[in-house]
Structure 1
Amino acid sequence: MASDDLRTTLERVGERFNLGEYGTDAYLAVLEHGELTASEISERTDIPQPRVYDTVRSLSDRGLVELRESRPMKVVAIDPAEAFEELESSLDRMIAELEARYTAPARETEAVSLVRSRATILRYVEEVIESAEYELALSLTPSLLERFETQLGRAVDHGVSVDLIVTPGAEAPDPDEYDYTTVCTNARTRRGITTPVIAVADGEYSVYATQDAIRDDRERYGVIFNRSALGFLLSGFYGTVLWTTSEELISDGTDRSFPRIYASIRRCVKDLQTVEGPLYATVRGRDVLTGEPRVVRGRVIEITFEHTEEVAGLTVETEDGTVTIGGQVATLEDIESHELWIGKEEPPEIE
């Protein structure tokens, strides 16, 4: 239903139920008795006699009663199923359209939420993009790329590292004609419509939905990890399944300054492979064996990275010896990293 049609339907429904000052009393009285004269309506209600005729003619105009021109005039009830049949159909269509447009308020206390409305899913995608402080992983359709172009431009301007997959690839803008560097750091494309729509901010706040859920509202759902540590599930799926099976459009579209901040070990390691000179790291995470929070500071002496991106890690030389750094749910390394701050001169101070 188009916006103008929906507005007209809402107005028509509102007018149909706006029976005026005395309309409701008159209508209920006629329904109860089936047939009444104007005098009888006045006797059974608080409607003044001079106002009865205007009131029942208004009900007749709305198709709720029938006026029989006799002496005296009789007001005859119409079966409500017949009187409201067209309105009932309009209400069903109107409610379906209103539901499709409904945007549920964000529920900050819920770690994981299921949402069905297309409008609500898109609202969360926008919120995830705008909430990113230093890292974004995105899988968007070309139409969604256009929709969120302004928000992505702001993220890039603020120094956020943005990995972008555009799918289906056949519809992705040509990099010779479209400046991807204004909306992302790296861009790839993936064929077909099986790739889901994903947005992950800083490894936590994230959205997952199928492309079908974005195209229509036919009982399909999106999943929201609302600033939850479970967001690493989407981040890992994105990095190891989607990114590794996509084709490059642009790489290193922006030259980021130091210090750099990362939520994903893979994103961090990929960036550092092309950086020359000594690097220093400050890592906030937890000890793999004890689970206790730890902050590690020191010089990066080794970068571990496989082209499949299944293995990514850092080795940092600290005052207490070398420490290996892995990503979320790390098991082989010493530290599971949650935030990685990388500098050129010395280990950065965490803000």
Structure 2
Amino acid sequence: MNTDDLTDVLEDAGLSPYQADAYVAVLELGASPATDIAEASSVPDPRIYDVLRDLETEGYIETYQQGSLHARAHSPSEVLEDLQTRADRFSTAAEEIENRWESPPMEDHRVSIVKRFETVLDRAEELIRDADNQVQLSADPEQYERLAPALAEARDDDVNIKLSLYTHDDEVRADSLPGESALADTCTEARHRTLPSPFIALVDRTWTCFTPHTDSVNEYGILVDDRTHTYVFNWYFKTCLWGVWEPVYSEVRTEPPITYVDIRQCIQEIEPLLEAGETIPVRIEGFETATDERVELTGRIVDTTYSGGSDDGGAEPPLSHLAGRVQLTIDTDQGEYVVGGWGAMLEEIEAVRITLLEPPSDR
């Protein structure tokens, strides 16, 4: 580094141009009279005494009388420590600027675009650990392994987890997918997809973490704290990443009690039972749409309503028939309630969990 560059750096570190120039001169000359330092630098003779005293106050030099005012540099250890501290602060500030640019605080942004996939994965991990009710996750085996501890914590908290695992091959190999015991610890259901897929984590009907699949030319991520946007991603997950792919693990019961976190899946499976005149006892956990207060109802399902109409013969209605408004009518001791699913506004109750109970023992 030449003298001019060194002077510029010292100015960046807080010295004035005269102070930086005088200090470099003292370093080069050694112990010297003030007049010689002024001559070796750009500091005018009348100013050199004030400049040297200021440098002494800041710990860069010491002055002494030897017929006239002289100056010599202090041991550079204190100066070097100060410069290193300043350098560390600049480095920390640079990292903070980058972090804030890549990952703005979510409390101030409902939708954030980030550069790094790791930012998306880190946020997904936090959200999964804090989940209350359900997680829908599309991931490759490596991403799954990273999130497995968080998924296990969520399962321990009785969170319903649908896991769509994607690989780049057409065959399910023993070494490409987690084993059954691992899946039992980390999800409620798992399916295998053999097409490149984006990473998606949908948490509690509110949060979305998204990034394109690894073969995409675009590298970015999206973090969404919004029920409406997450509802759109939910339909993408349901139709493209879930419904058409083969199950590889399921702990879903086939006999009551059976719990659903999706009202559409519930209606698909109970419609034939209703058509056959079966009594279907049920427990609804959710929120009153008028007050947003948590509520739990117990009764029986007496009717279903959905925009696609009912198929002849009591068959399960296809998902396309359930794409619009769907409702359950529940008869309880307090009267009948109309129950909707995700985002319900016109119904009295938004269901979070629907549990089919065992029929009365006298049936």
TMscore range, shorter length: 0.5 to 0.7
C-alpha deviation, 1:184, in angstroms: 0.7
User: Secondary structure of 1:162's partner?
Assistant: strand
Equivalents in 1 of 2:252, 2:328: separation in Å? 27
- The number of aligned residues is 291
Equivalents in 2 of 1:25, 1:330: separation in Å? 64
Q: Residues 85-114 of structure 1, C-alpha deviation per residue, up to 9 Å, x if partnerless?
A: xx9xxx99x957983798847433543333
Q: Residues 40-61 of structure 1, C-alpha deviation per residue, up to 9 Å, x if partnerless?
A: 4574322323795445978999
Q: Do the aligned partners of residues 26 and 321 (structure 1) sit closer, same or farther apart at CA in structure 2, a change above 3 Å counting?
A: closer
- Verify: 1:339 aligned to 2:352, yes or no: yes
Which of 181, 197, 200 does residue 199 from structure 2 map onto? 197
User: Secondary structure of 2:164's partner?
Assistant: strand
2:184 is matched with 181
Which of 6, 11, 29 does residue 19 from structure 2 map onto? 29
- CA-based RMSD of the aligned residues comes to 5.2
Question: Are the equivalent residues in 2 in contact too, given 1:136–1:201 (CA < 8 A)?
Answer: yes
Q: Do the aligned partners of residues 49 and 315 (structure 1) sit closer, same or farther apart at CA in structure 2, a change above 3 Å counting?
A: closer
Equivalents in 1 of 2:133, 2:179: separation in Å? 27
Q: Residues 270-309 of structure 1, C-alpha deviation per residue, up to 9 Å, x if partnerless?
A: 787999983314365788xxx9989876412567854556
Q: Do the aligned partners of residues 299 and 202 (structure 1) sit closer, same or farther apart at CA in structure 2, a change above 3 Å counting?
A: same
TM-score by length of 2: 0.58
Question: Are the equivalent residues in 2 in contact too, given 1:101–1:117 (CA < 8 A)?
Answer: no
Which of 23, 40, 52 does residue 45 from structure 1 map onto? 52
Q: Do the aligned partners of residues 106 and 122 (structure 1) sit closer, same or farther apart at CA in structure 2, a change above 3 Å counting?
A: farther
For residues 60-209 of structure 1, the aligned pairs below 5 Å read: 95=94, 99=98, 104=103, 106-108=105-107, 110-170=109-169, 173-174=176-177, 179-193=182-196, 195-209=197-211
Higher alpha-carbon Rg: 2
User: Secondary structure of 1:206's partner?
Assistant: strand
For residues 144-293 of structure 1, the aligned pairs below 5 Å read: 144-170=143-169, 173-174=176-177, 179-193=182-196, 195-212=197-214, 220-226=219-225, 228-252=227-251, 260=259, 262=261, 264-266=262-264, 268-269=266-267, 278-282=280-284, 284=286
Equivalents in 2 of 1:273, 1:139: separation in Å? 29
- Verify: 1:311 aligned to 2:322, yes or no: yes
C-alpha deviation, 1:252, in angstroms: 2.6
Q: Do the aligned partners of residues 33 and 336 (structure 1) sit closer, same or farther apart at CA in structure 2, a change above 3 Å counting?
A: same
- Answer with 40-49 or 152-161: which moved more: 40-49
Q: Do the aligned partners of residues 128 and 57 (structure 1) sit closer, same or farther apart at CA in structure 2, a change above 3 Å counting?
A: closer
- Answer with 304-313 or 38-47: which moved more: 304-313
TM-score by length of 1: 0.60
Q: Do the aligned partners of residues 115 and 343 (structure 1) sit closer, same or farther apart at CA in structure 2, a change above 3 Å counting?
A: same
Q: Residues 21-53 of structure 1, C-alpha deviation per residue, up to 9 Å, x if partnerless?
A: xx9659853548996744345743223237954
Equivalents in 2 of 1:149, 1:310: separation in Å? 35
Amino acid at match of 1:299: R
Question: Are the equivalent residues in 2 in contact too, given 1:298–1:316 (CA < 8 A)?
Answer: no
- Answer with 162-171 or 277-286: which moved more: 277-286
Q: Which runs of 5+ in 2 are unaligned?
A: 1-7, 38-47, 57-61, 65-69, 305-309, 311-315
Identity %, equivalent residues: 20
C-alpha deviation, 1:150, in angstroms: 1.0
C-alpha deviation, 1:140, in angstroms: 1.4
